[in-house]
Amino acid sequence: MSDLHSQTVAYTRDTMLPPAPPPVRERGAIKWLRENLFSGPFNIALTLITLWLLWLALSEVLPWMWRGIWDAGSVTECRARPGCALRAGGAGRLLGRHPGSLAPARLRLLPRRRTVAPAAGACGLPHRHHAGPLHRPASAPAGVHGRRPLPDRLADLGGAIWGPAMVALGFVLGWAVWRLLLPRSNPGLAFTGGVLAALLWWLFLTGPVAGMLARLIPIALNPVPSDRIGGFTLSLLIGLSGITLSLPLGILLALARRSDLWIVSKAAVIYIEVIRGVPLIVWLLVAQILLNYFLPSRWSIDILVRVIVMVTLFAAAYIAEVIRGGLAAIPRGQFEAADSLGLGYWETMRLIVLPQALTISIPGIVNSFIGLLKDTTLVSIISLFDPKRMTDTIRATTEWGGIYWELYIFVGTVFFVFCFAMSRYSIWLEQRLERSHR
């Protein structure tokens, strides 16, 4: 009986059931809402209060944005529009039609109207602060139907671009010479060769080659004086230049401060402490006023160049301390392992120590960069037209007097977008370079 039963009844399953999705309450948005917003009475109360506050805010902000008038020429014109409140006008004055927009120079390759530029720019502001001359005088020769031949238009573009291009090519040449000499000599000699190659190129070949290319291919850009650059163009120019130049300088300062050579270490310490001990606004005043007293009388350095140099030197001191903290976090065994492999100082730093130290220092470095970008608004103290000064200039006009919220909210929003993007990029970079889980 038992033998027959064992042959007719299966006790184990020979096939698996198909996979089924989890219950609706345990997946997707519903699960997230249950766990984060409605997990208990206290969280439910906080969620309802937050939703109520958001509704109060959006019920005021969304109609203000939806009814916003972006093409009014003054507050009076805005008030004359049906359904327009005072707060609904003027928010678009900082979107790019005012002086100092995000177009400091434009290629004038297209036909231009034969009109003289007006005496005032958008919003009634003086035209002298515009990013560059966008019209040619009516007396200038023109071709058929107001067009000029393409070679003439190319030759009438203002300042040449070949000079800066040849200067940038000097950096590329120095890097190529350094890479070529590095396998055949010690790193110090390779670095010296790269620097000498770049200097020889800049001193003897940059001018002739740029002049020859300017005659062969006369492509150029509108020259833009420093007093005509303003708004977010100025902030981005100073901020990006300072970020790009201060990072390598900060690395060198951090290495110099940890150097075994007494004079190199003390010089780096003195520089870092002096720079960090004085506010940036004081260094900007030094760049504007006092720097000319220490330069030869025949030298005339543009104020924007002086500001970029001073901001770079200021940011490099802070970045050096951040990187020094990353270097201090590297275990001593890393240096000993490099010594056992026969690596020199620069090879150890370049291949082993600095990659790890920079990865550790990413949050501090990005924090310094964000502070540097926001501190570019301090240049208004030396009469440069940063977004804050542009906002005050627009408010001072008779057309837009009395406008406050729109201008400052717009400036703050743009800065927040840039800073938040930098912050998110640093988080992504940290996760990409993380090696502890591998």
Q: Dump pLDDT digits (tens) for 91-123.
A: 444 433 334 433 333 333 333 333 333 333 334
- In this structure, what token pair is assigned to residue 87? 């707060």
Residues 136-159 as b or e (16 or more Cβ within 10 Å = b): beeeeebeeeeebeeeebbeebbe
- In this structure, what token pair is assigned to residue 358? 């920079």
Q: Dump pLDDT digits (tens) for 380-390.
A: 888 788 888 88
CB 282 within 8 A of CB 311: no
* Cross-strand bridge partners of residue 160: 220
CB 319 within 8 A of CB 271: no
- SS3 for 385? strand
Q: Which residues, 6+ apart, have CB-to-CB distance to 377 below 8 Å?
A: 235, 386, 387, 388
Domains and CATH numbers, the chain: 150-223 (no CATH), 228-433 (1.10.3720.10)
Sign of CA dihedral 293, 296, 298, 303: negative
Residues 368-407 as b or e (16 or more Cβ within 10 Å = b): bbbebbebbbbbbebebbbbbbbbebbbebebbeebeebb
Question: For residues 10 and 184, what is the distance between their CA atoms, to the nearest angstrom?
Answer: 77
Looking at residue 94, the DSSP 8-state letter turns out to be G
Question: For residues 129 and 98, what is the distance between their CA atoms, to the nearest angstrom?
Answer: 9
- The identity of residue 235, as a single letter, is S
For residue 132, the tally of other CB atoms under 10 A from its CB is: 18
pLDDT tens per residue across all 438 residues of the chain: 555 555 565 566 677 878 888 777 777 788 888 888 888 889 899 999 999 999 988 887 777 777 666 666 777 777 776 655 444 334 444 433 334 433 333 333 333 333 333 333 334 333 333 333 333 333 344 444 444 443 444 334 334 678 888 888 999 999 999 888 888 777 778 888 888 999 999 888 888 888 888 888 877 777 777 777 888 888 898 999 999 999 999 999 999 998 888 999 999 999 999 999 999 999 988 888 877 777 777 777 788 888 898 999 999 999 999 999 999 999 988 888 988 888 888 888 888 899 999 999 999 999 999 999 999 888 888 878 888 888 877 777 777 776 777 788 888 889 999 999 999 999 998 888 876 555
- SS3 for 126? strand
